[in-house]
Amino acid sequence: MTGDTADPTAPHTGRRPPTTPFSVVAHVLRGMLMGLAELVPGVSGGTMALITGVYERIIDSANHVVTAFRRLASGPGRGQNFRAEFARAEWTLIVPLLAGMGTAIVAMAGVMHSFVETQPELSRGLFLGMVAASVSVPLLLADRSVFRQSGPALRAAGLFVLVAAAAFLLTSLGGGVTMENPPAWLVFGAAAVAICALVLPGVSGSFLLLVFGLYLPTTAAVDNLDLGYLAVFAAGAIVGLALFVRGLHWLLHHHHTLTMVAMAGLMLGSLRALWPWQSAAGALRAPDGNWPWVLLLAIAGALGVMILVAIDRRVARADAIAPGEPDLS
């Protein structure tokens, strides 16, 4: 499967659907879903980007931005090269997404903080259903003809199991002790690691903040608009994205199917963190008396994801590029 490529019409090839008022509103709503996901331990904003069909376009645009700043830092014609590369990012997608994410995070940080803290079993049940229904999304985006070849299919299955097991072990670590006044270097480093979950389905940025003991300080900083804390966090996030995006972009272009299989494994393994009944230390427990409500929310979450996927596929068909439209990459 070395060098396998995606469907040539996939978003990461550079083909872009037209921008309309409807598409801008849709991107804002997608961003709000991604922002809400990033507030929840165990749920990834990257997962929501996959579900809503914009994942590879985000990675492509992020790679153009990173490349633009690299060209600004070195080489001849810095300014011209920077502007040309910067313009290649799909800003009609990125700006509405960021607006939606920012709105959701600022508006809902306090609410989600309270929901996760006061109703842990119900919240995990809801998100368990959502992520479980999402596991199939990256597999649907893979080149399924590969799965009909015994050798490549066996390698893909092995990768899927290995990554799922690794994600299961990672999420078994449990949350760290909450830090009351975390030092700036820790906030910076934790943000650089956790922000990668924004573009990596199956890995939750909020869960990683829990491991570092920074989930409650970070959500409190957002809710209280602690600009000093948020500035350090944002700086770490920018550095983390710059280091991570280029590698992921390369994998999507050169090993698309294997990358999608690995993402599906990450999402499956991450379900361990969302088992509704856990001790304070993260040990799994048997269901208790509220299991019917938890099950109901899990089913509702799964159905919500299935509806989102169906709607997005219909929107994608409606926005399909006419044959012969030039590649804008």
Which pLDDT belongs to residue 42? 58
| Residue 284 β-bridge partners | 278
How many other CB atoms are there within 10 angstroms of residue 226's CB atom? 15
Distance CA 86, CA 76 (A): 16
Distance CA 276, CA 122 (A): 7
Instruction: Please list the pLDDT of the chain residue by residue as tens digits (329 residues).
Output: 434 443 433 444 445 667 788 888 889 988 998 888 777 665 677 778 877 778 888 888 988 988 888 888 776 778 888 889 899 999 999 999 999 999 988 888 778 777 877 888 888 888 888 878 878 878 877 887 877 888 888 999 999 999 999 888 877 765 555 667 888 988 998 888 887 766 776 666 776 787 677 877 888 888 888 899 999 999 998 888 888 887 888 888 888 889 889 888 888 887 887 788 887 767 788 898 889 999 999 999 888 878 877 776 776 666 554 444 444 33
Burial of 326 (0-12, 13-18, 19+ CB in 10 A): exposed
Distance CA 103, CA 101 (A): 5
Which pLDDT belongs to residue 235? 93
141 in Cβ contact with 260 (< 8 Å): yes
In 175-226, which residue ranges form alpha helices assigned H by DSSP?
184-194, 205-212, 215-224
- In the chain, count H helices and then E strands: 14, 0
Which pLDDT belongs to residue 47? 75
pTM: 0.66
Distance CA 107, CA 233 (A): 18
Distance CA 58, CA 39 (A): 19
Residue 235 vs residues 105, 222, 224, 319: alpha-carbon distances, Å: 18, 15, 19, 36
Which pLDDT belongs to residue 319? 57
| Residue 278 β-bridge partners | 284
Distance CA 237, CA 269 (A): 24
* 121, two tokens: 């079993």
Which pLDDT belongs to residue 162? 95
Reduced to 3 states (helix: H, G, I; strand: E, B; else coil), residue 159 is helix
Which of 197, 328, 308, 317 has the alpha carbon at shortest distance from 263? Answer: 197
Which pLDDT belongs to residue 160? 93
